[in-house]
Amino acid sequence: MVVDLRAQQARWALTADAESRLRASVPAGWTVRMVDAATSADGDGSKPPSGEALAAVRDAEAYFGFGMARPLYDAAPRLKWLHSAAAGVGSLMFPEMRASGVIITNSAGVHAVPIAEQALAGILALLRGLDVAGALQRERRWSREPFLAPESPMREVGGLKALIIGAGGLGGALAERLAALGVECTGSRRRVERGVPKGFRAVVGPDGWRAHLPSSDILALCAPSTQATHGMIGATELAALPRHAIVANVARGALLDEHALVAAIRGGHLRGAVLDVFSQEPLPAESALWELPNVILTPHVSGVTDRFWEREMELFLHNWHAYDRGTAMRNVVDKSEGY
């Protein structure tokens, strides 16, 4: 087992406690090679690997990192299992990996709680006009008029309707929190036969969610980036939302047409947006999104939490022992679907 988790980003770097827990739980017959060279937690394996990692994987059966860069895959002829500490696996879906027998497990759901809380915080901020209050505060201006005017941003969350695209771990975590505040949540998922998760009133398939747009006060994107979801929310879908709806994208930037979003907000059709992911990252300085006061924008950090390694090690160690015993693993990626 090669462990390549010395992330340059301090919040994502393997902690001493997590490393101790890993070393204490090694299945019989396994050896662990810890890569000490720095790696990147960004890009689910799209960043160049270290020379130390390249040397370490040459006889590795399993690899635990933030995705797996293509050169690492090419250097690991004995690889049978890859566990990624990232949720996305887009960079891993090259033809040779898809065709191989390598099992991929990811960390989808590990980040669900903090990302759901981030989306909820942004939604509530817009519903209570905190963006307006923030602008007034920066101007040192006391004015109640924007809040008392006919176009007041102030709304109660209870009784609203939300459409959540992606009813997996992240979408489910957001639905539970919104439902607890009185929001009626409808979810969309590819496999409706899996039932209706907690927090949702109903779940529809890929062909059914558009019918719910006209009645959705909140549209939240929580689905993985695949060929089927790329660009799924454009001008037509945004126009179908009711006036002053809120759009939240905490999944992947590729799901949303940002130019159409800017046009809808500038035209007064949408109340605003909560965005943590973008079609191009870092977001270019010339992007119009920076200029919109009713867009709550964060630099792809909604998954940051002080409890990441607690959850990540529970998942990884379960899967390691399951792999060793030949029993069912969690978060196995369907390479034909890309997530």
DSSP 196-210: --TT-SEEE-TTTGG
Question: Once rounded to an integer, what is the mean pLDDT over residues 317-338?
Answer: 96
CATH architecture of 112-297: 3-Layer(aba) Sandwich (3.40)
Residue 300 is a catalytic residue: yes
Residue-wise pLDDT tens digits, 37-63: 999 998 788 889 999 999 999 999 999
Q: In residues, how long is the chain?
A: 339
Instruction: Say which range, 37-46, 149-158, 262-271, 281-290, has the weakest mean pLDDT.
Output: 37-46
What three-state secondary structure class fits 69? coil
What three-state secondary structure class fits 161? strand
Residue 98 is a catalytic residue: no
The pairing of strands 161-165 and 81-84 is unpaired
| CATH placement of domain 2-110+306-325 | 3.40.50.720
Catalytic site residue from 6, 111, 252, 271: 252
Angle at 109 between CA 272 and CA 82, to 5 degrees: 125
Residue-wise pLDDT tens digits, 181-238: 999 999 999 888 888 999 999 999 999 999 999 999 999 999 998 888 999 999 999 9
Catalytic site residue from 21, 155, 201, 300: 300
SS (H, E, C) 4-60: ECCECCCCCCCCHHHHHHHHHCCCCCCCCEECCCCECCCHHHCCCCCHHHHHHHHHC
Residue-wise pLDDT tens digits, 237-277: 999 999 999 999 999 999 999 999 999 999 999 999 999 99
The ranges of the chain annotated as CATH 3.40.50.720 are 2-110+306-325, 112-297
- Global pTM? 0.93
